[in-house]
Homo-oligomer: A and B are copies of this chain.
Amino acid sequence: MLHHAFFWLNNPASREDRDALIRGLETLRAIPLIRTLTIGVPALTEQRDVVESGFAVSELMVFDSLADQNAYQSHPLHQRFVEECSHLWSKVVVYDVEALP
């Protein structure tokens, strides 16, 4: 399954805050439950009405199962990330997707 989270910053203009959040997300790589982790920023595609480009950073994780994603939520490294970085963001939107075969 896919777990795609998008983060809006409290200080959208702060490159420092953005980079601190990216460094925080990098610490999640040590969680073995995560099959792959892709960290990203808005791509400079055409600004169409349907394109949401206000977020600052995104994380796309692939898990083998729903159970693994649930276990990730309570993993100590994830909880430490939330404690240390949640002051940086004003909004988070998460999409959990079951991939079709």
Selecting from A9-17, A27-35, A43-51, the interface stretch reads A43-51
Docked-complex contact B39 and A66, CB < 8 angstroms = no
The main secondary structure of chain A at its interface with chain B is strand
- Asked if A88 is at the interface (CB within 8 A of a chain B CB), the reply is no
A48 to B: closest C-beta gap in Å: 7
> Separation in Å of the A47 CB from the closest CB of chain B?
10
- Decide yes or no: A42 and B94 within 8 Å by CB, A2-B60, A4-B4 being known contacts: no
Within 8 A of B (CB), among A41-63: 41-46, 48, 50-53, 55, 58, 60
Residues of A within 8 A of B (CB): 1-6, 22, 38-46, 48, 50-53, 55, 58, 60, 66, 69-70, 73, 92-100
